[in-house]
Structure 1
Amino acid sequence: MTDGPVVFDPSDFGAIPTSRSLRQWMRTTRRRHADRSFWQIFEDVYLVLFTLAMFGATAGNVVRHLNSNAARCTSYTCGRLSEWMPWIMVPLLLAITVRMLLAVGPVSASRASGFWLLATPVNRAALLRPAYRLVTATVAVAGLVAAAIIWALIGSSFGVVLEAAVLISALLVCAAIATVWAQQSTRRSRWTLRVADLLLIAALVPAAILAFQHEPTRNVQTANVVLTFAEMEQVSAFDPGGLHLLVVCLVVVVLCLGLTTITSRTLDRLGRSSVIAGGELLAGLAGAASSLDISMLGDVIAGRHWRLKGRVRSRRGMGSRGGAIVQREFWRILRWPRRLVIAGALLVVPYAVAGAGFDVLVPIAAAFAGFIAVRPMLDGLRTVCRSTGLVRAMGMDLRELRVVMAVVPGLFAVLWAGLAFPAIGSLSATFAVAGGVISGAVRQASARPPTYSGPLVASPMGAIPPGLFSQPARGFDLLLLCLAPVLLNLPPLWVVAIPAFVLTVMFSVRPKTD
């Protein structure tokens, strides 16, 4: 034997199998080891389809009712909403799509596939093509449904809703294709994320303009007329409007299919590490979703981000005990500046609701948006509350640590609520929003892991531990409790007193760890 690099010779191992033959062999092997009959699988699928049908019918009826109400609206506010909504929602949907897909991959594979298949001489593009097509189809359907619901809620006609849904779905498919292109290089991924941040900022500008516009003294009729199902049947493809819609749909479908086909030929450039990382993330998200632990979903994404980042530049700390922890929490938040950009972009929510004329819903919209903005900044508190050894190493009581580690996120929540004050319009309501955001985010971050002890509860999905039902509500319960006096239109004294009492009780009680 001579020294040198190992060269693959097909004659030593046989011909390289095609990806189609491999997938067929794996499908046959799985069917041989299946331990469930067709009727058992059909029962589960039937329950899922029946639930989706019931939910879809209920949601569709609600959307149609809101569409009818919005179509009959003659106020200037309805006209402003229908005019500015595309400039707000289109950049927002594009940014959310890009960020979510880049967080996952978007093309991903399990660790087993990456170890046994992607490391072989088999054509990698052919192996990854089914996952790529599934992602593209999912984005197309999700964009179609989301756009149809949004444009139906502002009172658009059936033709306008369908055309907007098709165009926005095509835009989201193009965004998904761009993320596949960006996944092939780390530099491309960074620049694509920056573009997503710019889109989030672009959605904030028209929302602020919409919120600060003044309503004139006279009303202007700008809403469209809703089409009933009987009128929808009268729309023919040979009419000018129907022909225009048909041409638009054909052009969009051909364009998306062409871009999808071209990009599928470049899947062999995807690195095996990035593809496997996406599969591990999906597995972690599935585990977190099965336990109904919302905080764990964020932990999985944050863990993948820091593993890919690898290292950061260390900084020398100052002070001792509580002061040192506050300083370290401040620097830890600044190490992920994109979260601050997202938090700033979430200001679009209260301003958009205020500009739309729904003044009653502004506090609750601002509270939920602020909760989403502040909660990722409490990852340190969640880590401490889930590790008894780390609490002992810091030499402080868990109650003291919760207060200290909530200082920086609490100040940011106050700043965020202050920036949303022009939309909220009331100082007491702004205090209630800030108090609800702080208390809810801290409660969810310091909550115990789900418990599986105790008797099980029977459900159509099987036996479920009762401790899982309280997991999604943790944090949101205190948020709604602080907003209750605002929603009930109580005097300003109660609006301030109840959130202050909730904050006092929460920070004075020691969180449970077992």
Structure 2
Amino acid sequence: MSGATDVGRFDVGELPRGRSIRRFTSATTNQRAGAGIGELLGDVYYAVIMAAIGIGIALGVTGTLREALPDADAGAGAGAPTVWSLPGLSLSALVVAVVVGLAGVVLSLAGRLGPVSAGGPEATWWLPLPVERRGLLRPAVARVPAGAALVSGVVVGVLDAGVLAAPGGRVLSTVLAAALGAAVLVLGAALGQTLDVSRRATSVAGDLVLAGAVVLAVASGVAGWRPDGLPAVSPLALVGLVVVAGALVVAVDRGLERIPSRSLRAGGAVASQAVGAVVSLDTRELGRVLTDASLPRRRRASRLRLVRGPSSALVVADALVVLRSPRRLVLLLATALVPALVGTAPELAGPVGFAIALVVGGFVATTTAAEGARRAEMAPVLDRLLPLGARDVRLLRMVVPAGAMAAWSLVAFGVVGLWYQDVPGWLALGVAAVPVWAGAAVRAAYRPAPDWSAPLIATPMGAIPTGVTSVLARGPDVLVLGLVPVLVSVFLGRVHPEVVVVQTVLSLVVVAVATTTTTLAERLGLSGGTPAATTGGAR
């Protein structure tokens, strides 16, 4: 064949609009889904009822805690001990700081999720089409702002009504303002996306706002700022928020054509992986996805001068994972300051407040420091390449969390020691408890996945297998048991030398449990599955 074949002229019909393509896709999906309107209404009804029950329980719990907390003036007048000679952090100022932190979380998540994005199928089939994108992407614009508004309104409403006991009218205006404010933040992030602002810049801005909430709480405790509650929102302010939100919607809608396809695909990939992690109850994957979305593409090179062998290589790798993420370092510092904030709040200072602050703040901190082990469970590259046994790998994975928690304990337990006027004793107890934190973090990192072949239980989020609670409890179980001496000392108000010895023994037990490569059911011969520790190193 020497010549090319000419294609004859033909008429090109009118291209469909993006809106019609989106509606056709939705209609085809609904037709093949096999679910009717009755099942849809049933699911919506079930979700609304469960959400209402959850909100009611949250209001009841916060109300009970508010009534159980001592009065600030009464506590000060009774000669209660104080950590520092400062005015202290009021409960209302703490709620204001939490609301500011919530705004930072909303903005940070908006940057990580897009907020305008196209999932895998949408990015594959829709984006290459020669049609306008405004009709295709309009539902994607509404998803994240609507979700942020709903969650923010509920959280702020529970705080205002349950913790601060605000009247009904004020709670309603506060909820509306919180919902509109969250929507404005997300829409602002979407407007930045249309102007080709990087998703990392938006997420970093949210992280800075979150860090500012911690600074606000500390400054409030130092200055003695005691607001009456959340700022009152006037009807005029609500109208202003509605106008701003409407203007942002129009601006974002006009700029949808300018959003690069790479940004839509990247945000859709993160959102799809995050949803999959939530549905599968995998907090490790959820944290990895949301964290990696804000990391720079070009990372610093390291000569790894501290590496002298397989053991040091594993430890250095874990340390670099933490040190190369400023967000984790800030989180470690923020969690260490939680007991200090509790100690300066007259309504919270006491055994219950310190116990909750130590357990919750410590678990968040040690989980943050054990990111290397959490990643290794999913991609055990070093675990397989290095000539180390599975137990040795898990033991080495505890080095970085132990070092981080040793520094964390100096701050957290030092504050508790100032409160109880026995700093050396509490520091000794904190150092003795360091292996408990590290062991719990590694045990949680290497926990097995839920057995999805087991019988299922219906929940508002879908069906989950039986026994999922025992899987999620791996890590927190040994943490609570290993910290029994610490909790007993907190409620007794003093540290006995015998308690430090018991804490040391329990720490060794936790380390031994955390380095095991099989579950209890597998050791008893009750499970026919593969051991959970196949990702824990060489056999």
The two structures share one fold, judged by TM-score above 0.5: yes
CA positional deviation for 1:444: 0.8
Summarize the Cα distance change of 1:408–1:57 in structure 2 as closer, same or farther, 3 Å threshold: closer
State the TM-score, normalizing by the size of structure 2. Answer: 0.77
Q: Does residue 1:181 correspond to 2:191, yes or no?
A: yes
> In the alignment, which residue of structure 2 is the partner of 1:154?
164
Q: Does residue 1:354 correspond to 2:343, yes or no?
A: yes
Summarize the Cα distance change of 1:176–1:412 in structure 2 as closer, same or farther, 3 Å threshold: same
Q: Does residue 1:123 correspond to 2:132, yes or no?
A: yes
> In the alignment, which residue of structure 1 is the partner of 2:447?
447
Query: What is the distance in 1 between the residues matched to 2:314 and 2:90?
Result: 45
Aligned partner letter, 2:301: R
Query: What is the distance in 1 between the residues matched to 2:336 and 2:150?
Result: 28
Summarize the Cα distance change of 1:143–1:45 in structure 2 as closer, same or farther, 3 Å threshold: closer
CA positional deviation for 1:352: 3.0
Query: What is the distance in 1 between the residues matched to 2:167 and 2:437?
Result: 38
> In the alignment, which residue of structure 2 is the partner of 1:344?
333
Q: Is the 8 A contact 2:399 2:438 kept in 1?
A: no
Summarize the Cα distance change of 1:31–1:191 in structure 2 as closer, same or farther, 3 Å threshold: closer
> In the alignment, which residue of structure 2 is the partner of 1:3?
none
> In the alignment, which residue of structure 2 is the partner of 1:234?
none
Residue of structure 2 aligned with 1:258, choices 227, 247, 253: 247
1:360-509 equivalent positions in 2, closer than 5 A: 360=351, 361-385=353-377, 390-425=382-417, 426-427=426-427, 430-431=430-431, 434-452=434-452, 455-456=454-455, 458-459=457-458, 464-488=464-488, 489=491, 492-493=496-497, 495-508=499-512, 509=515
Residue of structure 2 aligned with 1:171, choices 165, 178, 181: 181
> In the alignment, which residue of structure 2 is the partner of 1:269?
258
Structure 2: stretches of 5+ with no match in the other structure = 1-8, 77-86, 418-425, 519-532, 535-539
CA positional deviation for 1:264: 2.7
1:259-338 equivalent positions in 2, closer than 5 A: 259-302=248-291, 304=293, 309=297, 312-317=300-305, 318-338=307-327
Q: State the Cα deviation string for residues 429-462 of structure 1 (Å, max 9, x = none).
A: 6447645432321111122233345x52555678
Query: What is the distance in 2 between the residues matched to 1:111 and 1:48?
Result: 26
Q: State the Cα deviation string for residues 284-338 of structure 1 (Å, max 9, x = none).
A: 22322232222222233345556x7265424244311212332333233222223
Summarize the Cα distance change of 1:280–1:471 in structure 2 as closer, same or farther, 3 Å threshold: farther
Query: What is the distance in 2 between the residues matched to 1:86 and 1:27?
Result: 42
Query: What is the distance in 2 between the residues matched to 1:275 and 1:444?
Result: 33
Q: Is the 8 A contact 2:221 2:344 kept in 1?
A: yes
Summarize the Cα distance change of 1:181–1:437 in structure 2 as closer, same or farther, 3 Å threshold: farther
Query: What is the distance in 1 between the residues matched to 2:70 and 2:511?
Result: 48
SS in 1 for 2:281: coil
> In the alignment, which residue of structure 1 is the partner of 2:529?
none
SS in 2 for 1:449: coil
CA positional deviation for 1:373: 3.0
Identical aligned pairs, as a percentage?
27
Query: What is the distance in 1 between the residues matched to 2:118 and 2:89?
Result: 45
Q: Is the 8 A contact 2:191 2:252 kept in 1?
A: yes
Q: State the Cα deviation string for residues 383-421 of structure 1 (Å, max 9, x = none).
A: 444567753420011111122222122211211222223
Aligned partner letter, 1:505: V
CA positional deviation for 1:214: 8.9
Query: What is the distance in 2 between the residues matched to 1:389 and 1:139?
Result: 37
Summarize the Cα distance change of 1:197–1:30 in structure 2 as closer, same or farther, 3 Å threshold: closer
Q: Is the 8 A contact 2:370 2:442 kept in 1?
A: yes
Query: What is the distance in 1 between the residues matched to 2:330 and 2:30?
Result: 48
> In the alignment, which residue of structure 1 is the partner of 2:213?
203
Query: What is the distance in 2 between the residues matched to 1:261 and 1:474?
Result: 48
Q: Is the 8 A contact 2:440 2:476 kept in 1?
A: yes
Q: Is the 8 A contact 1:197 1:342 kept in 2?
A: no
Give the alignment's Cα RMSD to 1 decimal: 3.6
Aligned partner letter, 2:134: A
Q: Is the 8 A contact 2:339 2:416 kept in 1?
A: yes
Query: What is the distance in 2 between the residues matched to 1:42 and 1:270?
Result: 35
SS in 2 for 1:402: helix
Summarize the Cα distance change of 1:347–1:177 in structure 2 as closer, same or farther, 3 Å threshold: farther
State the TM-score, normalizing by the size of structure 1. Answer: 0.81
Summarize the Cα distance change of 1:493–1:392 in structure 2 as closer, same or farther, 3 Å threshold: same
SS in 1 for 2:440: helix
Structure 1: stretches of 5+ with no match in the other structure = 1-9, 225-240
SS in 1 for 2:16: coil
Summarize the Cα distance change of 1:119–1:201 in structure 2 as closer, same or farther, 3 Å threshold: same
Summarize the Cα distance change of 1:174–1:214 in structure 2 as closer, same or farther, 3 Å threshold: closer
SS in 2 for 1:420: helix
CA positional deviation for 1:186: 6.8
Aligned partner letter, 1:126: G
